[in-house]
Structure 1
């Protein structure tokens, strides 16, 4: 434990691997305990180790132990710091035991609401100031935010993100874990399977229960504004939770918040694309036609798109046409059991296909081989 960090190879491609907690480090990993403070000589460590704790974890290997962040928040100084040469890095994260936690780095969210013990995910991040500053932070109040392992690999000497499709939305869009085998799914999670990977990476920043105001003001939009650039896309689907009376958002208020986000993202050079939410599985009439055109503040979303001159993927109508074609029983099979709102993995895949197909039809993204 506590060894100094060796210099990377001349091509910068050898990854750094960190195994957190007070158990023995796995082979090829650098062991890091909660009390290991950052020093310039070591080149990694916790900025405020007094706010860290070693904890057990329910997995095996690197997942058998972890460190817990006792102070957290995207702007918290209680970070794990690693000195890195400038460049673009891929960071793979393995959490310890946690109900729901997000990963932040460089003061903004990177991965939203990872769920389940030992959850894993990865993200690209440009490092320009010689150091990565990362922490696990709040996804759900009152739960533990723990980190079992990190792998950090430089993928380019140029600290610029690949062309990116940023996705914002709610629980019908969000990612669920394990990413490759989750029962529930969001279309943002499955979208990478339907987009040409040589043209775009997909970064899904959607979260369950989210409303337009919360996405704008709670830190998720901040991530997109920090990193988005010309050539990127921003797909934004909101409205389902905004229409819930408890969220106290009128349609007029919703419309102006959506307009504000469109304008802020457009100012970065990225291209906003608005998406309308699909309806419920049960939105069939007596003739077997599915329609939900009056749900979820859809008309306000269409109005913002028209007034701001941005494209819209009317997933509400696209999904209804698909549901009508396959019928009520097959439609219900694309939703979670006993739930007419949230798609399962198969349903999310179909919605992602519909979104990608319409983006291609409009010439917004190139065709994907699928």
Structure 2
């Protein structure tokens, strides 16, 4: 078949346009490229860091722009004490996991990694899609990240309660698409209290929770770790105040759920009998099992000072441990006897070395080194029991 010169030229242009990524409309004109799925936002009214898109508190979301605040009247520009993107921030004046005072970003459906940098705050949490994503980030300029599937073409995020009375601020946000799938990678979810939770900066904090150090003992090509533990938390609070809700939104077959409570449940102010504690824990075990996840119960370690006159560390009967052991057997789930295993380790190193693994003047909370040892013990026991990924 013979082609006219004009048709040949048109075909050459189409091939060139396709090669260069230029879209053609029905009239032959160039169409604007689709919005990117990778963003770096610098919040506040100060100078915008190179490589970032500046966003002020008054920047409202518009479909054309594809990002902005849903209710900018409820936002405020504030200063921050860091440098670069951490030198300024925006403050959320209304908040809550279900709040509509969100920062919205149009994204194609898929799995994303979201990195958040807070401004000045004592303690704040991050919520997106109506549930918690990160619990209790502490200190000015705290930084963390999480995976999230986007299924409706938009990410809706805000900074919310970690501690009543503090400012909930955001300095920077980075969004990176990982894949087109709309489910998280295999995940180890962790629920617990101040002996388990994250402390900031994550890579250099003096105090540590074993859940914070746990990723060092996990095969990260198989699992990501989502530590949803928080300081002062007890079983009822974890189940009823949003942390369990967040886990149940995403947990799936192939995921693990490690649950460790008891320390704060025995505190009189939390008004929880041992029988109530056991049934609340049972409820969470069954909720996660019904999602197809592998549930693991853990008993918390004892105090640094739980040595007898023979220098043997023993704390078996603390913190409703007997009920946790019984529940694991009744529900047919894996049990990590961190209480007994850590006691054996503490006995082997002696009272002075054990005390050095805890915060100064504190016999309950491990320091970073102590948290790493506890994380190592948990991972080793799970590997011994035949669970993969450690």
Q: What TM-score do the two structures reach when normalised by structure 2?
A: 0.91
Deviations 1:196-245 (A, max 9, x none): 11111100000000000000000000011000000000000000000011
| SS of residue paired to 2:339 | helix
Deviations 1:4-23 (A, max 9, x none): x97456xx5xx300000011
- Correspondence for 2:223: 200
1:147 pairs with 2:170: yes
1:278 pairs with 2:304: no
Q: Which runs of 4+ in 1 moved over 3 A?
A: 5-9
Listed as ranges, the gaps of 5+ residues in structure 1 are none
- Correspondence for 2:257: 234
The 1-side partners of 2:326 and 2:92 are apart by: 44
| SS of residue paired to 1:329 | helix
**CA shift for structure 1 position 40:** 0.3
Pick the structure with greater CA Rg: 2
| SS of residue paired to 1:59 | coil
Tell me which of 74, 78, 82 is aligned to 2:101: 78
- Correspondence for 1:28: 51
**Root mean square deviation of aligned Cα:** 1.0
Tell me which of 345, 349, 353 is aligned to 2:372: 349
Listed as ranges, the gaps of 5+ residues in structure 2 are 1-31
How many aligned residue pairs are there?
359
The 1-side partners of 2:343 and 2:150 are apart by: 44
The 1-side partners of 2:143 and 2:361 are apart by: 28
The 1-side partners of 2:175 and 2:389 are apart by: 30
Tell me which of 326, 332, 339 is aligned to 1:303: 326
| SS of residue paired to 1:78 | coil
Q: What TM-score do the two structures reach when normalised by structure 1?
A: 0.96
The 2-side partners of 1:365 and 1:355 are apart by: 13
The 1-side partners of 2:369 and 2:264 are apart by: 23
Tell me which of 27, 48, 52 is aligned to 2:71: 48
1:288 pairs with 2:305: no
The 2-side partners of 1:341 and 1:92 are apart by: 31
